[in-house]
Amino acid sequence: MSPDQLGVLIKETQAVLNQRMDEVLRPLGLSVSQYACLRNLHEEPGITGSELARRTFVSRQSMNVLVQGLERQGLVERAPEPGPRRERGAMLTHAATEILARADNAVSDVVGAMTEHLGQEQRNELHALLSACRDALARESSR
């Protein structure tokens, strides 16, 4: 398999995964980007919008709009400290924690379907290989 074929295969897999995640998250009132935002806020409460944007692969402006939408839905609240609103850390509300648990289960089912034909050792190897590829590209972009 040539490098370009591998790149296309990874992109195709990501596109189908994103589509399936969207299908299971939509009934919960979430987009894939909103889910990623909530997941990151759960893992690191108070993280800034800039860091959230970096971790969810959207622009800072898009993340600000996304967080505002989550605020209107009652899923996120911003830290009360003074300063520019978009740079104040955000935190999940109780309602978000409940929705996130349901979303995690739905996404877990999608990933389970994607990897059901793989044994545990193969899943571990896939995780290690994809992590190594991601890290190699991240090092390249920081040079």
* Predicted confidence (pLDDT) at residue 88 exceeds the cutoff of 70: no
Domain of residue 68, residue span: 3-141
- pTM value is 0.85
Partners of residue 78 on adjacent β-strands: 90
Q: Are 33 and 66 in contact (CB under 8 A)?
A: yes
What percent of the chain stands above pLDDT 90?
Answer: 70
* Predicted confidence (pLDDT) at residue 94 exceeds the cutoff of 80: yes
CATH of the domain at 79: 1.10.10.10
Query: Residue written as tokens 């793989």?
Result: 118
Q: Are 73 and 38 in contact (CB under 8 A)?
A: no
Average pLDDT, the chain: 90
Taking only the tens place, the pLDDT of each residue in 3-16 is: 889 999 999 999 99
Q: Which two tokens stand for residue 18?
A: 């994103």
Counts for the chain of helices (H) and strands (E), in that order: 6, 2
